[in-house]
């Protein structure tokens, strides 16, 4: 069988990376053993599959800043972000322990960028990730609910190992929105990690949520199993 015919059979089996690798091997008259060449073919296909899964995860996650990387964190004295903190984030022990992460700080301190970097790294670590700002999350909830698709949407969100909610407490919220956030936070408590980004400190969240038992319950559930990063210093913009 010719090299071209073999390549076409690989492609017919949807093994495009193996086909490309095979063609390179044949074109270079690769002198290695069959076992070595097959191992390279399998490595190429596995790498392509992992890359495809990562791209699919990024599309589904809809991370705000897709280019953000923890390796690009700027360590500025007094900012509240140090190499040991970032190393602890990258260990993913907090995700495996189902803990939340609270990121607070004034506007421009890098909350969205940092949480985007965390989300992007989590995707590369093969965790399931979803990203929303609070307003967008609630709007999608209402849309899915009106179309009778809420169960599917909620199941998908619930499966995320890391769920980011940006702009928490940034805009007024009505009782219906509070109830939806209560459903979400209750469903994920000790089950999966929430990353919450807010310009408001946690002590202000109960008032934002309208006070009362539901508001206190949401905040208690978020904070009882949470690590916190408070970003300080000058604006990073």
Reported as a single tens digit per residue, the pLDDT across 8-22 is 877 777 777 777 777
With beta carbons less than 8 A apart as the criterion, state whether 81 and 75 touch.
Answer: yes
Distances (CA, A) of 137 to 7, 150, 231: 45, 12, 24
Instruction: Give which of 221, 211, 117, 209 is closest to 170, Cα–Cα.
Output: 209
Domains, the chain, ranges and CATH? 3-61 (no CATH), 70-231 (3.40.50.300)
Q: Which two tokens stand for residue 39?
A: 């191992």
Is the confidence at residue 161, as pLDDT, over 90?
yes
Would you state the pLDDT for residue 54?
A: 53
Of 111, 237, 119, whose CA–CA distance to 169 is shortest?
A: 111
Question: What's the pTM?
Answer: 0.78
- What's the pLDDT tens digit per position in 20-68? 777 787 788 778 887 788 777 777 767 656 556 556 656 665 787 888 9
Arithmetic mean of pLDDT, 80-85: 93
């Amino acid at each position: 069988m010719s090299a071209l015919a073999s390549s076409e059979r690989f492609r017919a089996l949807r093994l495009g990376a193996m086909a490309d690798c095979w063609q390179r091997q044949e074109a270079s008259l690769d002198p290695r053993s069959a076992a070595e060449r097959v191992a390279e073919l399998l490595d190429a296909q596995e790498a392509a599959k992992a890359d495809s899964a990562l791209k699919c995860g990024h599309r589904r996650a809809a991370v705000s800043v897709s280019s953000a990387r923890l390796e690009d964190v700027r360590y500025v004295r007094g900012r509240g972000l140090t190499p040991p903190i970032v190393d602890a984030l990258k260990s993913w022990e907090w995700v495996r322990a189902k803990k939340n992460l609270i990121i607070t700080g004034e506007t421009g301190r890098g909350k969205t960028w940092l949480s985007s970097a965390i989300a992007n790294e989590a995707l590369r670590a093969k965790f399931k990730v979803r990203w929303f700002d609070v307003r967008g999350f609630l709007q999608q909830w209402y849309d899915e609910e009106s179309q009778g698709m809420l169960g599917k949407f909620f199941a998908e969100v619930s499966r995320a190992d890391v769920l980011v909610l940006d702009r928490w407490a940034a805009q007024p919220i009505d009782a219906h929105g509070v109830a939806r956030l209560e459903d979400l936070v209750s469903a994920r408590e000790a089950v999966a990690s929430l990353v919450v980004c807010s310009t408001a400190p946690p002590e202000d969240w109960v008032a934002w949520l309208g006070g009362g038992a539901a508001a206190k319950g949401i905040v208690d559930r978020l904070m009882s199993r949470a690590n916190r990063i408070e970003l300080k210093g000058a604006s990073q913009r």
